Amino acid sequence: MTVPSTPAPRTPAPDPAAPATHTPEPDQAAPAATVPWPDLLAAATDDCLAALLEGAGQDWSRPARDLDWTCRATLDHLALGLTGYTGLLVARPRDRYVTLFASLDPQAPVPACLDGLRIAASLLASTVRDTPPDVRAWHPWGHSDPAGFAAMGITELVVHTYDVTRALLVAWTPSDALAAAVLGRLFPDAPRGHGPADTLLWCTGRVPLPGLPRRTEWQWNGRVR
């Protein structure tokens, strides 16, 4: 495997969740109701796609870290998930997934695939912005609202970007601002006392935490609380 040159550092994603008069503590998740979810989803998209683009010249046929998918197949999973969450918010089913499935051109180069992911994420962000907060739609891990589906989209982007960048040896870690908002919305039982990014990676079975082994099973809780 070819190790890419050390990428130039990027400015961390902004923290639109933090009020101007107060900066949360590192492990303090902002209340879900105060988070501008479309903006946070856009920030997650920019940060994750920039990291993935750094590895565009690598071998994407290798497994995405510990997943059964290749790095390239993981992009297809992201496209399907982001578009599926959009469809759920539009169709608002009570007991099933939507029948719309998104896929990326299997012959397209990685940068073009990332453009497709940006489209899918933008569609989700726009739908979240335009959907009333009292709307509910089915999801197997908890019927959810627009904020919940935005948080799901951010989680998908962050954890799978982590998987792919680790496989491609690209230096990247999730933003604490993104992680804190997601933890507050989808992981109410997340352990305290750790950095938000590390905690999110623990909650999704990616890493251990001090005193807490790596999880072998996990799921978020999308239910509106």
Residue 215 lies in a domain: no
Identify whether 214 is part of a domain. no
pLDDT at residue 2 is higher than 70: no
* Residue with tokens 């946070």, as numbered in its chain: 40
Highest mean pLDDT among 7-11, 16-20, 88-92: 88-92
pLDDT of residue 101: 81
- The answer to whether position 141 is within a domain reads yes
Q: What is the pLDDT of residues 140-166, one digit of tens each?
A: 999 999 999 999 999 999 999 999 999
- The range of the structural domain enclosing residue 170 comes to 38-203
Q: How far apart are CA 78 and CA 225, in angstroms?
A: 26
Q: Rg of the Cα trace of the chain? A: 17
Q: Can you give the CATH number for the domain in which 194 is found?
A: 1.20.120.450
pLDDT at 62: 96
Task: Assign 33 a pLDDT band (cuts: 50, 70, 90).
Answer: low
What's the structural domain count of the chain?
A: 1
Q: Does residue 138 surpass a pLDDT of 80?
A: yes
Say if 9 falls within a structural domain. Answer: no
Could you tell me if residue 185 is inside a domain?
Answer: yes
61-109, pLDDT tens digit by residue? 999 998 999 999 999 999 999 999 999 999 998 888 888 888 899 999 9
Q: What is the DSSP letter of 218?
A: -
Residue 131 domain flag:
yes
Q: Is residue 97 part of a domain?
A: yes
**Reduced 3-state DSSP string for 128-159:** HHHCCCCCCECCCCCCECHHHHHHHHHHHHHH
- Tell me whether residue 107 is in a domain: yes
Task: Please state whether 68 falls in left (phi above 0), alpha (psi between -120 and 50) or beta.
Answer: alpha
Residue linked to tokens 């992981």: 187
Distance, in Å, from the CA atom of 225 to the CA atom of 189, rounded to the nearest integer, reads 13
